[in-house]
Amino acid sequence: MKRSFAFLFMIFILTACSQGSVEVPETDHPYTIISHAKEPVLSFVDLETGDVLREETVDHSLSYMAQLNDQQILGTNQIEEDVFLFDLENKTIRPFVTIGQGLTKIEVDRQTKRVFISDTKQNVVHVVDGKTGTMIKTLEVGDYPSDLLIDNKKQRLFVLSREAKEVAIIDLVNLAIVNQFPIKDNSSGLYYDGRHLWIGGHGAIGELNSYVQAYDPDTGFVMKEIEAGLMPIGIESDSSQLHLFFLSHGDHTLKKYNVEEQRIVGSVEVGQNPNYIAVFEDNVWVTNLDSDSLSIVDAVTMSIVREIPISKGPYAIIGQFNE
């Protein structure tokens, strides 16, 4: 009996030590959460006013993040060996699953509650149970899988392997690779419009890229190529999917592309080294890694609504909470 009590007490102590607390702002307004690459901080920003509600120092820098559900976020970076679970309701952060270093993108399949994590050291994609944090399967892919994107309608996962210069397509039902096709050197950024898979990138060494390509994911053929600014690395659309937005960190511009007219119809300069883009209603939000700022752009007029100073190295923009 004493041994059992001692064992349970030890487990309690270890769990308590590995779990940290995080203060979450008390507000009725919708807000988003921004991770930082240069310091272990989470920023909570009001989506209506653009005000920074709180900047919370945490034990780990969570550069790459994904929303697990309405109240929970998963996060990691390439140095950490764990993926961490941030619980907004309980105001806690704890290890969710231990894998090893080299982790980059996290994608969550809301239908199956499975989590997909790209691993650039082992060149695999890990499949994890989103409820328990247990490993389901590991799939070998091309060298340096740096980006992931789920197509919920056709239940497949796109895996961009930068060094292999290819995209692999994984069937989410059978958890097997069903197709692969070549892409450009040093590609980056994925967006799927239901027909084409849009990809940008930095370009080959000594040949900086200024284009995004629209691939047919079934054949791997390039169907369109659009000049989008120097080193386009972020691609998003408005809610109507009538316009795409291309974020380029080489010339720190955000461009608006009319899908029907097939041309660029607007452009605006944002901060230095922009890295992440998110669209909330009529505004496009951009994090500027080297300006330590957040740009809010009117998606219709393509004009700056507000530039917001923020903690060092803002990176990912995650979720919309208190909707």
Q: What is the pLDDT of residue 323?
A: 66
CB 201 within 8 A of CB 213: no
Residues 6+ apart with CB under 8 A from 10: none
H/E/C letters for each residue in 178-212?
EEEEECCCCEEEEEECCCCEEEEECCCCCCCCCEE
Distant-in-sequence contacts of 8-17, Cβ < 8 A, 24+ apart: 15/94
- With H, G, I as helix, E, B as strand and everything else as coil, classify residue 249: coil
The per-residue pLDDT for 288 is: 97
**Alpha carbons 8 and 111: distance in angstroms, whole number:** 35
> What is the structure's pLDDT at 14?
39
What are the distances in angstroms from CA 257 to CA 60, 225, 267?
Answer: 37, 12, 9
Confidence (pLDDT) at 18:
64
**pLDDT at site 13:** 38
Stretch (H or E) spanning 4: helix 2-18
Is the separation of the CB atoms in 293 and 308 below 8 Å?
yes
- Nearest residue to 25 (alpha-carbon basis) of 55, 59, 58: 55
Contacts of 322 (CB under 8 A, 6+ apart): 27, 28, 29, 30, 31
The number of CA neighbours under 13 Å toward the Cβ of 191 is 23
Would you say 252 and 269 are in contact if contact means Cβ atoms under 8 Å apart?
Answer: yes
> Cα angle at 74 between 179 and 41, to 5 degrees?
125
By three-state DSSP, how is residue 268 classified? strand
What is the rounded CA–CA span in Å between residue 180 and residue 195? 17
Give φ, ψ of 16 to 5 degrees.
-65, -40
Low-confidence ranges of the chain (pLDDT < 70): 1-18, 323
**What is the phi/psi pair of residue 301, to 5°?**
-90, -15
CA distance 207 to 323: 44
Rounded Cα distance between 230 and 51, Å, is 30
Distant-in-sequence contacts of 171-176, Cβ < 8 A, 24+ apart: 172/109, 172/112, 172/114, 175/127, 175/136, 175/137, 175/139, 176/139
- So what's the pLDDT on residue 322? 75
Q: Are 159 and 171 in contact (CB under 8 A)?
A: no
| Partners of residue 62 on adjacent β-strands | none
Distance CA 6, CA 226 (A): 64
pLDDT at 3: 46
